[in-house]
C-alpha cells in the first residue's frame, strides 16, 4: 500500500524548468536515440501494480528521435527505485526497465538495435 501512495505522490512533470527551480534527487533527463518516435512514457515506483499517467500526455508532439526531456519530481518524494516504460508511436510496442535507482541516475539514454529488435537504456 505504501508503494501505491508513493507512486501517486510522484507528480512527475516533463518540462524545461528554470535552473533555479528546486530539484529532487530523482530528477533526470530522458534522451531518445532510438531512431523512432516515442508516443508514451510511464514511471511507477518499482514493482507497482499500475503505471502512473503518461508523462507525454500534455505534449502536442511525440518524443522524437534525438529529443531529450527533463523529468522533475516533487522534492518531497523519497522513493529512489522506479520502473520506466516507453511505447513506440509506429507500432505500439513497448520496452520496460525495472529498479532504476533515480537517486543515482541523472540521465537515461534510450537506443534501439534493429538487428536484435531490442531497446536498451544507458544509465548515467
User: Residue 12: its pLDDT value, please?
Assistant: 47
Long-range contact set of residues 114-119: C-beta below 8 Å, sequence gap at least 24? 114/35, 119/34, 119/86, 119/95
Q: What is the pLDDT of residues 4-62, one digit of tens each?
A: 334 434 444 444 444 445 578 999 999 999 999 999 999 999 999 999 999 999 887 78
For the chain, give the mean pLDDT: 86
Tell me what pLDDT residue 61 has: 79
The CATH number given to 2-123 is 2.60.40.2890
CB 2 within 8 A of CB 45: no
Residue range 92-119, pLDDT digits in tens: 999 999 999 999 999 999 999 999 999 9
Amino acid at each position: 500500500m505504501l508503494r501505491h501512495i508513493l507512486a501517486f505522490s510522484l507528480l512527475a512533470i516533463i518540462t524545461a524548468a528554470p535552473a533555479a527551480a528546486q530539484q529532487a534527487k530523482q530528477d533526470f533527463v530522458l534522451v531518445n536515440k532510438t531512431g523512432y518516435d516515442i508516443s508514451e512514457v510511464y514511471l511507477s515506483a518499482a514493482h507497482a501494480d499500475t503505471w502512473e499517467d503518461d508523462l507525454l500526455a500534455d505534449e502536442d508532439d511525440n518524443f522524437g528521435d534525438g529529443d531529450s526531456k527533463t523529468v522533475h519530481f516533487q522534492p518531497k518524494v523519497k522513493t529512489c527505485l522506479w520502473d520506466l516504460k516507453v511505447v513506440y508511436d509506429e507500432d505500439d510496442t513497448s520496452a520496460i526497465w525495472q529498479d532504476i535507482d533515480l537517486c543515482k541516475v541523472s540521465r537515461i539514454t534510450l537506443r534501439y538495435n534493429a538487428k536484435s529488435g531490442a531497446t536498451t537504456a544507458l544509465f548515467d
